[in-house]
Amino acid sequence: MSENFADLFKDSQVSKQKIHYGMKVNAKIVGIDESSVFVDIGAKIDGYIEKTELIDVNGNFEYKIGDYIELYVVANKESEIRLSRALSGDASFNVVKDACERNITVSGKVKSAIKGGFEVIVMGKRAFCPISQIDMKKVENPEQYVGSVFNFKIKTFEEDSKNIIVSRQPILQQEQKEAIDKLVAQLKEVDVITGKVTKVSDIGAFVDLGSQLEGLIHISEISWTRINHASEVLKPGDLVTAKVLKVEHLENKRFPRISLSLKQLSLHPWDALGSKIKTGDVVKGKVTRCADFGAFVELLPGVEGLVHISEITGEKRIKKVTEIINTGDLVDAVVINVDCEQKRISLSIKALHKKDETPEVASETKPRRERSVSASDENDWRKFSKIETPGDDDDEDENPFSALRGKLNSK
């Protein structure tokens, strides 16, 4: 037992001796409190890192006990080992040179905005960061960066002239890649995601999913109702929850292409149609588009019927649908067929006109009341005889005095 303890003690001493300033370690999280994250790096004592260093660009702390993080040793004392995601504090030019050669992340404070970029203090040394390297986006107001502490990579180190050039972009690109990889991994496990609309156009709406990653809701996936522009339904700033249709990794592209759908989170209109529209119904709808063979009419949101060109009018033969109706017109029509399986509804406008004419035709063909007049004296009302038609209620016409009164008044 004592030998085992001796071996463990020896190993811990060896581990401790190997740890030095600037050393990169793969640290395992063993504890988390309000301000610090404690990690095991194989030393005699656990190291720690400030919790604020592990908060991402969105302000979230997403680590848990058991996770591993790559960190740098920035202080190695007998009572504590302090770690960081970047080297900080005063150091010699040899340490700066080593950081440059080994591509070690360093911490720097932006002291001032100068011509072409920024003066940055890195480990007590003056460095320069070009304005194009301070952020991923175009810098509109350089002064907003002054006073901030960022992580940098040393791109150039000239020992003779003490010239140090740093860049923040590699850090941001790596953080962005990690965030995107994590987000894409989550998209494989869920089928919906929430984001904010950033832009609308003819092709659809672009949605910010975080970490500069955007998804596209194609115009055909915004609404079951046919629309001409995404702005008819969405506007920049709208918060939307959409279904993830596809995640495509494209060659030579930093970001994957993410296709989203808004309409597929709601029931398909045809599935909810039921008996709302039946054969023989007279319906009203808006013409959504005209083709050579007919006109499409929206009867309900997402439900269209077709008026074939031969069913538009019976008055004359037409060569073009637009001779009678145009896109945007409101029309009445008769439903002549409903095929829910094929999602097709056939309509007829001319059948509606025939339907309107039916009562008049019926009245003309209805047996009419017959009157016979005596040939001897047609003006004598007593000579009138009539044949009553069942269901005829026109009492005034049947009264012989009415006819006689009309003849007397005319004299």
Indicate the domain borders of the chain.
Answer: 18-84, 93-173, 190-265, 276-390
Please work out, in degrees rounded to the nearest 5, the angle formed at the alpha carbon of residue 85 by the alpha carbons of 69 and 40: 40
* 3-state helix/strand/coil string of 14-65: HHHHHCCCCCEEEEEEEEECCCEEEEECCCCCCEEEEHHHHCCCCCCCCCCC
Residues 6 or more apart whose CB falls under 8 angstroms from that of 89 comprise 74, 75, 123, 124
pLDDT digits (tens, 9 = 90+) for 129-147: 999 999 988 899 999 999 9
CATH T-level topology, domain 93-173: OB fold (Dihydrolipoamide Acetyltransferase, E2P) (2.40.50)
Compute the distance between CA of residue 82 and CA of residue 33 in angstroms, rounded to an integer.
Answer: 15
pLDDT of residue 406: 52
CATH code of the region 190-265: 2.40.50.140
CB 196 within 8 A of CB 210: no
Beta pairing, strands 294-300 & 282-291: antiparallel
pTM across the whole model: 0.52
Residue in 302, 291, 352 with CA at minimum distance from that of residue 325: 291
pLDDT of residue 5: 52
18-84: which CATH architecture?
Answer: Beta Barrel (2.40)
pLDDT of residue 257: 87
Compute the distance between CA of residue 261 and CA of residue 258 in angstroms, rounded to an integer.
Answer: 10
Compute the distance between CA of residue 87 and CA of residue 66 in angstroms, rounded to an integer.
Answer: 24
CB 127 within 8 A of CB 108: yes
CATH T-level topology, domain 276-390: OB fold (Dihydrolipoamide Acetyltransferase, E2P) (2.40.50)
pLDDT digits (tens, 9 = 90+) for 92-105: 777 788 788 888 88
CATH topology identical between 18-84 and 276-390: yes
The low-confidence residues of the chain, meaning pLDDT below 70, are 1-17, 57-58, 90-91, 160-161, 188-190, 354-411
CB 285 within 8 A of CB 331: yes
pLDDT of residue 321: 87
pLDDT of residue 118: 96
